[in-house]
Amino acid sequence: MNTTTPTTVALGKNGPQVTPLGVGTWSWGDRLFWDYGKEYDQTQVKDAFQASIEAGITLFDTAEVYGLGESERLLGQFAKDNDTPVSIATKYFPLPWRIFPQVVADTLTESLKRLEVESIPLYQVHSPFSFFMNQETLMDALAKEVKQGRIKAVGVSNYSASQMREAHEHLQKRGVPLASNQVLYSLLDRKIENNGIWETAEELGVTIIAYSPLAQGLLTGKYTGSEKPTGARRLDPKFKASGINKISPVINSLQKLAEKYNKTPAQVALNWVICRGAIPIPGAKNATQAQQNAGAIGWSLDSEDVQELNQVSQL
């Protein structure tokens, strides 16, 4: 087994230090996609928060639109009641009616209220949608918030290579670096390695934050085609028998390596993301899931095993 994973990594070249694994909180308070309030509730997600903290995971990613603000409210409440400092990343959504720069400040103010903090380490733009408010205006407004101290770093999400470069250039003029780009990345979705995003991020010193690093549970090995996920995922053809069969080479490799390292397939899949140089933020709806996710750090895949997964995941 290789050396252990680092205890912290920087967001961007010289940005805030965060844990190499985070927790995605989309499911916290979301009733539409994740069935919050039916199969799990505030008690379970609070347990997930506490279990993550106890395992040394202190990076939590949320957004104003998750559960229509409920995710931020829950996270803020949990963090306030806990003695361990946490690193919160949240997101601004460029809705069509958000035209003027002041709305960025107002939206951030509302997020800070829900999170019960005066400043956050990372504020991200949830989508590159810029039809009504152009990127220069948006990045100017975000740079102003950095100068005022209400956010420590600026990130983006779902930005292409060219969009990321444009955001970087606008921020750079104001002396503010672009810290991160949060994108879909896992063993089952490696598009960013071939569409310029990965290469551009390395060039600009932008950290890749990987959402859905377990492909919404597909990489856990739990689903076989007969066992169905809950919520909207039940309708996704990837969870049907034909979809599971297509990814079986990846699942088989994960299971083999899980035995070698005495880990779970999910922990191997997350460690692969870390070895690739990105920060995975898997979701956790309860303490068990949080504890399982945390098992992805403190160790590292050997280089030849990383290469094996690289090859088998080229589906």
Count the domains in the chain: 1
295-310 confidence digits (pLDDT tens) = 999 999 999 999 999 9
Residue 1 has pLDDT above 80, yes or no: no
In the prediction, which pLDDT does 229 show? 55
Residue-number span of the structural domain to which 169 is assigned: 9-312
Within-domain flag for 2: no
Within-domain flag for 282: yes
Q: What is the 3-state secondary structure (H, E, C) of 73-137?
A: HHHHHHHHCCCCCCEEEEEECCCCCCCCCHHHHHHHHHHHHHHCCCCECEEEECCCCCCCCCHHH
For the chain, give the mean pLDDT.
Answer: 92
Within-domain flag for 219: yes
Residue 247 has pLDDT above 70, yes or no: yes
Determine the 3-state secondary structure of 10 from DSSP.
strand
Domain of 23: which CATH number? Answer: 3.20.20.100
Q: Check if the beta carbon of residue 172 is closer than 8 Å to that of residue 265.
A: no
Residue 244 is classified by DSSP as H
In the prediction, which pLDDT does 238 show? 63
Residue 198 has pLDDT above 80, yes or no: yes
Determine the 3-state secondary structure of 211 from DSSP.
strand
Question: What are the structure tokens assigned to 52, written together?
Answer: 């993550």
- HSE-CB at 135 with a 13 A cutoff on CA atoms is 21
Model pTM?
0.93
Distance CA 108, CA 97 (A): 16
61-91 confidence digits (pLDDT tens) = 999 999 999 999 999 999 999 999 999 999 9
Rounded mean pLDDT of 32-43?
A: 89
Residue 233 has pLDDT above 90, yes or no: no
* H-helix or E-strand spanning residue 245: helix 241-246
Question: Angle CA(29)–CA(35)–CA(39) in degrees, nearest 5?
Answer: 100
Question: What are the structure tokens assigned to 226, written together?
Answer: 């007969």
| Least confident stretch, 89-98, 108-117, 202-211 | 89-98
267-293 confidence digits (pLDDT tens) = 999 999 999 999 999 999 999 999 999
Which amino acids are annotated catalytic?
66
Residue 219 has pLDDT above 70, yes or no: yes
| Least confident stretch, 157-166, 209-218, 232-241 | 232-241
Task: Look up tokens 């709305």; give the residue.
Answer: 103
pLDDT band at 315 (very low <50, low <70, confident <90, very high): low
Within-domain flag for 33: yes
Determine the 3-state secondary structure of 66 from DSSP.
helix
Q: Single out the residue of 312, 301, 311 nearest to residue 274, CA to CA.
A: 301
Within-domain flag for 4: no
DSSP letter string over 126-192? S----SSS-HHHHHHHHHHHHHHTSBS-EEEES--HHHHHHHHHHHHHTT--EEEEEEE-BTTB-GG
Residue 156 has pLDDT above 70, yes or no: yes
Q: Check if the beta carbon of residue 23 is closer than 8 Å to that of residue 52.
A: yes
| Least confident stretch, 37-41, 154-158, 180-184, 236-240 | 236-240
Distance CA 266, CA 63 (A): 24
Residue 6 has pLDDT above 90, yes or no: no
Within-domain flag for 1: no
Residue 236 has pLDDT above 90, yes or no: no
Residue 237 has pLDDT above 90, yes or no: no
Q: Check if the beta carbon of residue 138 is closer than 8 Å to that of residue 130.
A: yes
Within-domain flag for 14: yes
Rounded mean pLDDT of 188-200?
A: 97
Q: Check if the beta carbon of residue 82 is closer than 8 Å to that of residue 116.
A: no
Within-domain flag for 54: yes
In the prediction, which pLDDT does 225 show? 54
Rounded mean pLDDT of 102-117?
A: 97
Distance CA 22, CA 108 (A): 21
